[in-house]
Amino acid sequence: MESSISGPILAAAAAIAAAAIAGSFSYLNLITAKESKVSEFRQQWIDALRASIAEYLSAFSYISILYKHFSEKDGEKKDRFEMAKEVQDTYSRVNRSYNDIILRINAAESDPEGQKLNDTFLAALAQTREHYNRGRYMEAFRACDAVRDAGKPLLKFEWKRVKRGEPSYNKAKGVAFSVLVAGLVAAVGLAVLVAVGGVAVEQGGESAPLELKAREENPKAPQNQ
């Protein structure tokens, strides 16, 4: 009776362990597919931010060169309308890239280190914008160095975040690993129980013929009740 009950129990326990392991891997694959897409979008965001910063800085460089040439002209040859006409497209680049950068930077970053980097970068960017709005193009160009210096660690921080992986993916990976370990431990335990049960059944089967042989040799011996 005991062996007949233990068999179905062991089979059910093995099925549950196998289902738990398979389910954990399915869950991990689902999270991996989603989070890898998020990381892909984050990498695209980094590339676009880098391109916008480069465009912003190069536009200021062009404006500063034109303004320098314009300021060195004689008074009679100066024509502000002519200069504005020459840099009209560059003004558009400055404004477009500036707004693109502002829209990409998270002013309320949850990570303390990321928040500090964002604040430093935005402060440097605001300085160039102030000079630009006041027509101080050479000062704006000089302030671009601070934007460049603040942008490097910001981009590096975001790259490390992509390389590290999304938080939910790392949590799911830990859960799946724990379930896998638990399933392996359960499988080993079941294997040990099956092995011990098999030995017990084998030993029980050998004792019956020995008892029967003893009765045949001594028929008058009392039998076990």
From first to last of its 225 residues, what are the pLDDT tens digits of the chain?
Answer: 444 445 666 666 667 667 766 766 676 676 667 667 777 888 888 999 999 999 999 998 888 887 776 766 665 555 555 666 667 788 888 999 999 999 999 878 888 998 999 999 999 999 999 999 888 888 998 999 999 999 999 999 988 887 776 666 666 666 666 666 666 666 666 666 656 655 444 455 554 454 545 555 555 545 554
Residue 181 covered by a domain: no
Residue 20 covered by a domain: no
Residue linked to tokens 């335990």: 189
Contact 94, 63 (CB under 8 A): yes
User: Is the pTM above the cut of 0.75?
Assistant: no
Contact 117, 157 (CB under 8 A): yes
Residue 142 covered by a domain: yes
Residue linked to tokens 């002519």: 82
Residue 14 covered by a domain: no
Residue linked to tokens 């910001």: 154
Residue 59 covered by a domain: yes
Contact 27, 168 (CB under 8 A): no
Judged by DSSP in three states, 179 sits in helix
Residue 68 belongs to domain with CATH number: 1.20.120
Number of domains in the chain: 1
Residue 210 covered by a domain: no
Residue 94 covered by a domain: yes
Domain that holds residue 86: 33-167
Angstrom distance (rounded) from CA 131 to CA 115: 25
Contact 87, 62 (CB under 8 A): yes
Cβ burial of 84 (10 Å; 0-12, 13-18, 19+) is exposed
Residue 173 covered by a domain: no
